[in-house]
Each structure stands twice: as C-alpha cells, then as structure tokens.
Structure 1
Amino acid sequence: MADTSLAAAAAPAFRFSATETLKHVVLVLGAIIVLLPFYVMISFAMKSPAEIMQQTGGFFGTQAAFVDHYCVKLGNPESACMVNPIAYNFTQAFTKAPLLRYLLNGVIVTASIFFIQVIVAMPAAYALAKLRFWGREAVFGLVLFGLLIPVHAIALPLYVMLAKLGLTNTYAALIIPWTISVFGIFLMRQFFMTVPDDLIDAARMDGMSEFSIIWKVMLPTAIPALLAFAIFSVVAHWNDYFWPRIVITGARDLFTPPLGLREFKGDIDGNNYGPMMASALVIVTPLIAAFLVAQRRFIEGITLSGMK
C-alpha cells in the first residue's frame, strides 16, 4: 500500500499549457501543408485521367474508371483494358520520355557539383577557421555577403558568359556555375571552429602539411557536416528547374529530372497528370530515401555547425 502511494506521489502531474498546445497545433498545421502536395502526387499517380479531372475515386482510384476512359471513350483494344491505372501511369512515365536518362543526368550533375564544391569548400573553410592571415575577417564577410545574393540576380551574366564560351547545351553549363558554394564554405567553417586547435597542432608536429591536415585530419571529423551539406546541395540541384531550363534548350539528352516532367505537358487531350505524377514520384523518392538514411547525421551536422 505504501509502495503504491509512493509511486503515485513520484509520478509527474500532467499540466495543461496553452503555449505548448499552440506550438503543437502550428507544427501539425505546418506538417499538413508540407505533406499535402505529396498526398496529391501519390494519389494522382494511382488514378485514371477521368478520376483526376473529376476529383473522384478516393485516394487509390478504381479499375472501372480506367476501363471506361481507355476502352469506351478512347476506343483502345481490349488488351489495354486489362492494365491497372497504376501500372499504366508508371509505364507511361518510363516510355513516353527517357526517364532513366534524365535520372542519370541528374546523378551526374548533382554528384559532380557536390564533389567540386567539397574540394573548394574544405580548404577555404579551414583557412577561415584555423589559419591566421591579414584580411581573414574581411574575406569571411564577403562569404556572408555572398549568401545574400539570389541565384536569379546573376543568371543573366552567367548565361551570357557561357554562351560566349560555347558551353550552352553541355554538362559544363549545368555544373560550372555552382562549383563554388558560399553556403558550403560557411557551414564547414562553422564546423571547423568546433575542432580543437590541439588536434591541428599535434598534426603539424608530426610533420603534416596544411593540405594533409585538411584531407587526413579535418575531413574525417567533418563527416556529419558534409552529410548535412550534401543534403542541401543535392536537393537544391536535383530539383532545380530554373537554371537547366535556361542553358539546356535543344539537347533533350541532357535534360535533368525536373525538365523531364515537361514531356507530359500539353498533350492533345490536356496535361497527362497521371504519368506526370508517377514521374514526379520516381524523381523525389531517392531524395526522401537518402534523407531518411542520413537524418541523424544531418541533424548532428547542423547542430555542431552552429555551436560557435
């Protein structure tokens, strides 16, 4: 009896907090707003065009509506009627446009950009964090200023430069303008500020050069920050539609995944939303999977980068 009373006394009493409740309500509403486009994308990828246009069929759609549209109204052969709307949408996503080629282009472009960004950002961040030289704070101020410049403000000068060099409609036009990331330099510099100077001094005493320290000492310690930067960089350039739309005008084999979605626009009977949403689902799935795998390290890298 005494043990029961002690346990009841030790249990924390629930206290209603209007502030905490409001915070959770705002977070839930924000989550709903963020998830709603994904709900629409997945639902449309599983429906027939008639259900999409009429906003019927629930979340998954029905086979009957698909048969009615493709067999009765469009007069397709009976073999087409046996295809499930989900299978049809994803089949069209890979046959109407060379989606695998667009995905490969996206991998080449994003991987190349990130690799070169790391090669540039690591030494620059190390110099700004650990080396003492005249004008260091001024250079860091320029890095912060670079964060304020929107991409669209420099798009025209970059395009003119690439056009004069004859680099439009090439991989170089998609990669070169983004090889220097001021955000990457800033993020890595903030992380390097948390690394003890004693570690660097010990490496110098062992006879290591500054570049050896960067790649053999600092790089292994910076894996969480690099993963966080990788998420930002890959997502930004994988989903970029603005810049590829400018520099890739006639070379269809260089289309990136977002440009590939244009293949489903402007059909004779309207926009082909089912295959379009199926393509979008294929394009966004690798990003979601990568983020879920690296989520812990991503949060760790962002947290440690803001300690100083």
Structure 2
Amino acid sequence: MSVRLSPTAAIMRHGVLLITAAVVLVPFVWMVSLSLKPPGEIFRQHFSFLPEQWYAVQNYSKALTSAPLPRYMGNGVLVCAAILTLQILICAPCAYALAKLRFRGRDLIFGFVLIGLLLPHQVLSLPLFVLGYELGILNTYAALIFPFVVSPFGIFLFRQVFKTIPDDVVHAARLDGLSELGIVWKVMVPMALPAVIAFSIFSVVGHWNDLFWPLIAVRSESLMPPPLGIIAFANEQAGNDYGPLMAAATIVVLPLVVAFLAAQKWFVEGMTGGAVK
C-alpha cells in the first residue's frame, strides 16, 4: 500500500535526497576536475569544473607511466576475485545450513555470526598479523586474502534470502536425488542470484578500497593493491603534483563506478530480497 505525500512533504523529501547526493558526489566531481587541470589552476580561489588549459593527457600519462598503476590494479583484481570466490564458496553452504537445516547449536552459531557483524575488522588486525607471521604468509598475496575468506555479512545476507525460499523447493530437490551441497549450488544460489550480485558489489568495493590491512600485511611494491599503490605513488613520484595523483585516483575508482551502474538493478533487488518473507 503506497502512501501519497503532500506537495510540501514531497519537495522536502527530494530536497534532502538532492543535498545528500551532492555531499556524496562533490568530492568525486572535484577529483575528476583536478585530474584535468595543470598545477597552476588547482589552487585558484574560484572553482570551475572545466580547466582553462586542458592538462588531462599529461596528468593521466604520468599516472600510468611514473608508477606501476596497471600492476596495482591487477593486484586489486586478483585479490578481490580470490576473496569473493572463497567467500561465496564458504558463505553459501554456511547460510544454507543456518536457514534450512535443523541441528543442535544452530541458533548459537548464528549468534556468533551476528557478533562477527559487530566487530570492526581493525579490532582483529593485531591477532591476524601475529597469525600471519606464524604461518609465514606476510608480504604475500595470501596475507591479503586469508583474513577475509569468511564473511559474517555474507552468511547473514544469504541466510536471510535462503529463508524466503519455500521449504517445498528444498524437499523437491532432495526427492530428485540432490545432495545438500547440490541443493546449495544448483537450487539456492541460482534463486538468490540478486543477493549474490549485491554481496559481490559490497565485497569487491570494500576490498578494492581497503588500505588499513594491506598497509600492515605487505611491503613489496609488486604486491600493493590500488589504495596502497596510490600512497606509494604520492610519496615517491607525485609529491605535491595533485593532477597526476587525482588522475590515478580516478582510474582506480572508475571500474567500481562502471560495475555498480551495470549491476545496480540486481544490487537493489538483492538487498531487499530478504526483507520480506
């Protein structure tokens, strides 16, 4: 049942949404604008989006050639893809067990999952660092991947969506001879595809932009993901030359923007799929 808003309430709602969108988008617009300008125009008192002198070729060329930016982005793709694959392989069966199977301690385990949702990852950084040292995986790709293979948010999201799938579907799959894992991968995950896409966006964006853990876990420049690589680029090459630095940041952010715009329909559907049973 939809509620019809008064004209004043509708104007206020749209005003709040526009102000919020502006607050979110202004830093990105500024970043793109600075990536197009020469140094002399960056710190002018009056702001203009388009530069008087176009410096885009110089800024983006320096961003791509003065630092191994393609290498940083390749590391980001490798790490994010590995984390996402392992997360889905682990979270989907766990969520299915919590949603559709009955066993002793199920609610207690789900309580631990909820506790995991409340813990910031930064709280676990010290024990994870010590564990990585004991395993001998620091300064490797494994150090960037291992701490994130189990996602409490992924288990929670998939569980909520799996609970909306009728039990009759599961019983029918069992009568057809599917094993429990077969039901997960051939029935549950395909039916929950919007949730999988929504979780994939969250996972990729979160780990693509992660700076805190890579700053602790790796030292070799050849292993650096994009955010850490941009810091290395700023320290070693860009310095106070903000044009190439903003160009590098734009290149790093662009794949995420394109991916979200392409999948926004499934993202919204996946995030709301488990809201109503």
TM-score, normalised by the number of residues in structure 2: 0.94
Number of residues of Structure 1 aligned to a counterpart in Structure 2: 274
- Say whether the 8 Å CA contact 1:264–1:275 is kept in structure 2: no
Greater shift after overlay, 92-101 or 259-268? 259-268
Deviation at 1:23, TM superposition (A): 1.9
What is the CA-CA distance between 1:265 and the residue it aligns to? 2.4
- Summarize deviations over 1:224-252 as a string: whole Å, max 9, x none: 11000001000000000111011112x00
Give the deviation of 1:201 after TM superposition. Answer: 0.5
Stretches of structure 1 that go unaligned for 5 or more consecutive residues are 1-13, 64-83
State the match for 2:216 in structure 1: 246
Secondary structure at the aligned position of 1:195 is classed as coil
Residue 187 of structure 2: aligned partner = 217
**Distance in structure 1 (CA, Å) of the matches to 2:235 and 2:224:** 18
Q: What is the 5 A alignment of 1:10-159?
A: 16-55=6-45, 58-63=48-53, 85-159=55-129
Change (3 A) 1:60 1:263: farther
For structure 2, list consecutive stretches of 5 or more residues without a partner in the other structure: none
Give the drift of 1:219: 1.7
The 2-side partners of 1:267 and 1:48 are apart by 20
Structure 1 position 144, deviation (Å) = 0.8
Offset of 1:28 from its aligned partner?
1.0
Number of the residue aligned with 1:278: 247
CA distance in 1, matches of 2:67, 2:237: 16
Superposed displacement of residue 160, structure 1: 1.2
Return the letter of the residue paired with 1:273.
Y
Partner of 2:172: 202
CA separation of 1:91 and 1:56: change in aligned 2, threshold 3 A: farther
Larger Rg: 1
Residue 31 of structure 1 aligns with an amino acid whose one-letter code is A
Question: Do the aligned partners of 2:194 and 2:267 also contact (CA within 8 Å) in 1?
Answer: yes
1:176 matches 2:128: no
Partner SS, residue 54 of structure 1: coil
Runs of 4+ with deviation above 6 angstroms: none
* Residue matched to 1:79: none
Deviation digits for residues 177-221 of structure 1 (CA, Å, limit 9, x no counterpart): 000000000000000011111111011111111111111111211
Distance 1:203 1:85, change over 3 A: same
- TM-superposed CA distance for 1:60, in Å, is 2.1
Distance in 1, Cα, partners of 2:32 & 2:261: 18
Q: 1:155 to 1:15 in 2, by over 3 A?
A: closer
- Identity, in percent, stands at 50
Q: Is the 8 A contact 1:46 1:86 kept in 2?
A: yes
How far the C-alpha of 1:119 sits from its partner, in A, is 0.4
Match of residue 164 from structure 1: 134
Structure-1 residue corresponding to 2:202: 232
Distance 1:103 1:180, change over 3 A: same
- 2-side partners of 1:268 and 1:162: how far apart? 31
C-alpha separation between the residues in 2 aligned to 1:160 and 1:98? 30
1:287 aligns with 2:256: yes
How far 1:165 moved relative to its partner? 2.0
| Cα distance in structure 2, aligned partners of 1:20 and 1:26 | 10
> Contact 2:67–2:237 at 8 Å: present in 1 too?
no
> Given the alignment of the two structures, is residue 260 of structure 1 paired with residue 229 of structure 2, yes or no?
yes
Aligned letter for 1:38? Answer: F
With the length of structure 1 as denominator, give the TM-score of the two structures: 0.85
d(CA) in 2 for partners of 1:15 and 1:193?
33
Conservation of the 8 A alpha-carbon contact between 2:238 and 2:244: no
